[in-house]
Structure 1
Amino acid sequence: MKILKSLLFTLISITMTAQSYKKSQPFTNTYSIVARDTVTGDIGVAVQSHWFSVGSVVTYGKAGVGVVATQSLVNPSYGPKGLELMAQDMSPKMALDKLINQDEGKAYRQVAFLNVKGEVATHTGELCIAEAGHINGKNFSVQANMMLKNTVWQAMANAFKTTKGNLSERMLAAMKAAEAEQGDIRGKQSAAMLIVKEKATGNSWEDTVMDLRVEDHKNPIEELERLITIHKAYDFMNKGDLAMEKGDSKAAETYYLNAQKLFPDNLEMKYWYAINLLNNKEFEKAYPILKSIFKKETNWKTLTPRLVKSKLLNISKQELEHVMQL
């Protein structure tokens, strides 16, 4: 009789705990990757789920420290707490073990830590919804739960290890591989990618390499890939602007052209390239570009003389008048 009472009490406790955690935490079953770029030292985390705004609850990172993916029945505190512990020189395993041991809902958690050395630690609780599992590799960890098939995390690992390119391209390849295995049993809805620098600059606004989110989309991985391409294009634009500030107009022209190759339909990129040509006194190259832009959107023509006042466009009054007649 005592044994039966003990078993009944245990079952009730487990049931109450399960209900409590399911009600109090986001049900973000998903797949993700944490990884390090051995060339640049950048560290990143990427995720996809059939859940709204998955990036707001799963992905965490801090330059000079590490990245975290916390998912399944999410306990968001693993993000900031994990980063804090790793910042105190705890290894990912020590940090994760410390938090897991304090968590009554650990059986429902799936969490991955990676530090700037490329060391990883991952926990997949025994009550995560099948199919669930993870693989740790050199400078990466992939993890998934509530997948249609148990082949997802192996496919992700293979894709990351065999894909050439920068960190965003390799993590994206892992995400695509998960989708090729049919991914989340429920489907797809949102995705995110966060990349931070190996070393903190002391200026937090300079430490993030990429922070992209697809909050709600019928094909979030495809949309994330599109945003990554645009991000690269604007990175070239930013480098072009910096080159212009330094007076290196030739370098700026190269950056602006690279941006246009990635985002050819963007009028703004074409516009600033043409403005740079005007500053270089390459009027014959600039005029047809500006004429085409002004024809499509007259506000760019309205903007042009304002640049002269702000000293971003250095041309004479006569030259400006010619531009305004295009």
Structure 2
Amino acid sequence: MKFFYVLIFTFLFTINSQSQQVFSKKEPFAHTYSIVARDTITGEMGVAVQSNWFSVGSLVTWGKAGVGVVATQSFINPSFGPRGLALLENGLTPDLALKTLLQLDESREVRQLAILDVHGDVAAFTGKNCIEAAGHIVGDNFSVQANLMEKNTVWPAMAEAFKNAKGSLAERMMAAMEAAQKEGGDIRGKQSAAILVVKAKSTGNSWEDKVVDLRVEDHKNPIEEMRRLLTIHTAYEFMNQGDLAVETGNNALAKEHYMNAQKLNPDNLEMKYWYAITLANNGEMLEAKNILKELFKKNNKWKVLTPRLVKPGLLTISEKELQEILNL
């Protein structure tokens, strides 16, 4: 317990010695709606946001596998992201981390902040000077928060949508975002959005710790675009699983994964190509050739690529079968 208080004192002293955070007109805006949440099955943690401001995800959304996630918005104090995660990593609860950060900030009443940790504990704050409509709701393993909204029904709609949604954590957070926009969203309009999901436990490799990391920096319908990107992301996850199955020689499983990818992204030529290659490796040459013939008509470079797959072992058919494909 003594170490616990020493940790807080050290953190406070370090930050105060650098300078207290005071609101400035130069600080970035992120009048917005967001959600921080944890999946109780996988333990994954996520944060999602939308705003009528360029590249909102670059400052609002913060997360670290095995630690937690942070959303810092309204008149943003960007330091709340990395410092909040550092406090969680050093053993503070979200509530104590939030109070520590706000205590150091003389402009706390224009801030909005939400912090969630690896256990699903959550703390949120809406300053009394945040532009209305503004508020937050803390629920079981999640928090929704919004400011400068058209109506004060936005964040309650987000909470209900998240609780009732099915699917992955990213999909459930996406449902909350869509509910917010349907309810009116940001009174100024819409421009950018972001979704970040990190793993429950760190792998030790930062590039493996992010499950989803998507941004829409500038778009007339950022939530719709984010939904499209999330669908494509899921499709490529199936492609990645298919590639892994190919590496282990399980072409039947690869075929299944590639088919699932195509269902989500049916117009993607590359997904069709690798599905056809897998069919050929499985001995299903007739179906493979039908698909490849159509692909070659649309872009002959797929035909040029095909014989190059033999050397690395990605195409394991006979020379005769290869020539049949190249003669399509």
Tell me how far apart the structure 1 counterparts of residues 37 and 195 of structure 2 sit (CA, whole Å). 11
Residue 303 of structure 1: aligned partner: 305
Structure 1 residue runs of 5 or longer lacking an equivalent are 1-19
Report the CA distance between 1:24 and its aligned residue: 2.3
Residue 239 of structure 2: aligned partner: 237
What do you get for the CA RMSD once the two structures are aligned? 1.0
Match status 1:78 vs 2:80: yes
* TM-score normalised by structure 1 residue count: 0.92
Report the CA distance between 1:147 and its aligned residue: 0.6
Alignment of 1:1-326 (within 5 A): 21-326=23-328
Identical-pair percentage? 65
The one-letter code of the counterpart of 1:168 is: A
Tell me how far apart the structure 1 counterparts of residues 180 and 279 of structure 2 sit (CA, whole Å). 45
Report the CA distance between 1:23 and its aligned residue: 2.0
Report the CA distance between 1:312 and its aligned residue: 1.3
Report the CA distance between 1:22 and its aligned residue: 4.2
The one-letter code of the counterpart of 2:78 is: P
Report the CA distance between 1:97 and its aligned residue: 0.7
Tell me how far apart the structure 2 counterparts of residues 54 and 33 of structure 1 sit (CA, whole Å). 13
What secondary structure is seen at the aligned counterpart in 1 of 2:144? strand
Tell me how far apart the structure 2 counterparts of residues 281 and 152 of structure 1 sit (CA, whole Å). 54
Tell me how far apart the structure 2 counterparts of residues 209 and 268 of structure 1 sit (CA, whole Å). 22
Q: Is the 8 A contact 2:191 2:220 kept in 1?
A: yes
Residue 8 of structure 1: aligned partner: none
The one-letter code of the counterpart of 1:129 is: I
The one-letter code of the counterpart of 2:100 is: K
- Aligned length, in residue pairs: 307
Q: Which digits, 9 at most, give the CA deviation of each residue in 1:34-84, with x for residues without a partner?
A: 001111111100000000011111000000000000000011111111001
Tell me how far apart the structure 1 counterparts of residues 308 and 165 of structure 2 sit (CA, whole Å). 46
Report the CA distance between 1:318 and its aligned residue: 2.1
The one-letter code of the counterpart of 1:228 is: L
Q: Is the 8 A contact 2:33 2:49 kept in 1?
A: yes
Structure 2 residue runs of 5 or longer lacking an equivalent are 1-21
The one-letter code of the counterpart of 1:45 is: V
* TM-score normalised by structure 2 residue count: 0.92
Report the CA distance between 1:321 and its aligned residue: 1.3
**Which segment is superposed worse, 121-130 or 239-248?**
121-130
Q: Which digits, 9 at most, give the CA deviation of each residue in 1:231-266, with x for residues without a partner?
A: 110000000000000010100000000100111111
Q: Which digits, 9 at most, give the CA deviation of each residue in 1:134-172, with x for residues without a partner?
A: 000010000000011111111111111122222112111
Residue 13 of structure 1: aligned partner: none
The one-letter code of the counterpart of 1:230 is: I
Q: Which digits, 9 at most, give the CA deviation of each residue in 1:86-105, with x for residues without a partner?
A: 01111001111111100112
